[in-house]
Amino acid sequence: MASNFDFLKEIDSELFEIIEDAQKLFLSEYFNQSVVQVRIYAEKMAKKIIGSTNQEQTFDDILNYLKDRVKTQREEEFIEDLFFIKKQGNACAHGEDTTAINALEVLRRAFEAGINYSYYKNKDEKIDKLMFDETLLITGKKAKENKIVDKYIKLAQEQTKEELLNQKQADFLSGEKEDNENPETKIKDKNSISNAKQYKTKNKNPKKEEIKKKIKEAKKNLKENINKTQKPKQNKKNPPKKQTKKISKTDFGFIKLVLFLIFCIFSLILIIKMIF
């Protein structure tokens, strides 16, 4: 059967065997024993890193030694995982019951510690890409990644569609609420699909109607102005009869006055000749 820790076989077979026993205990639901076994795995790993053979040196001593020499984030994460495993293992060793979820987390931390340990040994970047697989732990077979990915993509798409529908429904309800509160929006309700034709015939464009009305008024005013301007022209060409009579009388009086003056002049001349 395949294992999450297969990468340790060639790097450190001793650590691989210890962690395999921990996985078997977990599958048999011996969660406390599984966590204690993982603690043994973590302590062995820490000793291998510093090359310690001192049997009196405790796990705490080794971890504190490593903690004081942390230089990178990888090393910091590695020490944190070892501290977590030590704490959980000590609790189970002293008779405290643990849960399946907690024991699973301990195995996951053991996997991360094993990745960092392997990288420390051979600097293989491919190991960094490995992920802890719960399905592989339980069934001994790798999860079908493609099917799982497709499943989650489908779920995400369905969730997105549902969110869009909910958003549209919320927008519609909020718009309907605003329409009910605002009296002006009640007019919009009439302009629905069912009575669109009727609404268009009853409610023509007010701007177009106003423009047509103004054009009619302008035409009417233009005609009136044309009629007014034509009357004075007719009067100039064809003056009324009364006006012609008045003009003829004045001309006749003027002629009489001129003749009378001429007569007076000739009469004075004749009188002067007769005297002299």
Within this chain, do residues 22 and 132 fall inside the same structural domain, yes or no? Answer: yes
Query: In whole angstroms, what is the distance from residue 50 CA to residue 68 CA?
Result: 13
Within this chain, do residues 132 and 87 fall inside the same structural domain, yes or no? Answer: yes
Q: How far is CA 81 from the centre of its chain?
A: 40
Domain count, the chain: 4
Helix (H) or strand (E) holding 7: none
Within this chain, do residues 174 and 210 fall inside the same structural domain, yes or no? Answer: no
Q: For residues 76 and 70, is the Cβ–Cβ distance under 8 A?
A: yes
Mean pLDDT is lowest, of 40-49, 65-74, 197-206, for: 197-206
Mean pLDDT is lowest, of 74-88, 124-138, 153-167, 194-208, for: 194-208
Asked if residue 238 has pLDDT above 80, the reply is no
Rounded mean pLDDT, 217-234 = 61
Within this chain, do residues 163 and 134 fall inside the same structural domain, yes or no? Answer: no
- Give the pLDDT confidence score for residue 182 in this predicted structure: 59
**Domain span holding position 113:** 8-142
Within this chain, do residues 117 and 208 fall inside the same structural domain, yes or no? Answer: no
Detail the DSSP E strand segments found in 147-259. none
SS3 55: coil
pTM above 0.85, yes or no: no
- Pick 161 or 150 by higher pLDDT: 161
Within this chain, do residues 24 and 100 fall inside the same structural domain, yes or no? Answer: yes
Instruction: Give the number of other CB atoms < 10 A from CB of residue 46.
Output: 24
**Quick check: is 198 in a domain?**
no
Asked if residue 136 has pLDDT above 60, the reply is yes
Within this chain, do residues 65 and 118 fall inside the same structural domain, yes or no? Answer: yes
Within this chain, do residues 98 and 22 fall inside the same structural domain, yes or no? Answer: yes
**Quick check: is 106 in a domain?**
yes
- Give the pLDDT confidence score for residue 194 in this predicted structure: 52
How much of the chain, in percent, has pLDDT values that exceed 90?
Answer: 41
SS3 assignment for 3-40: CCCCCHHHHCHHHHHHHHHHHHHHHCCCHHHHHHHHHH
Helix (H) or strand (E) holding 29: none
pLDDT, tens digit, 9 for 90 and up, residues 175-201:
655 555 555 555 554 454 455 455 444
Query: In whole angstroms, what is the distance from residue 106 CA to residue 81 CA?
Result: 9
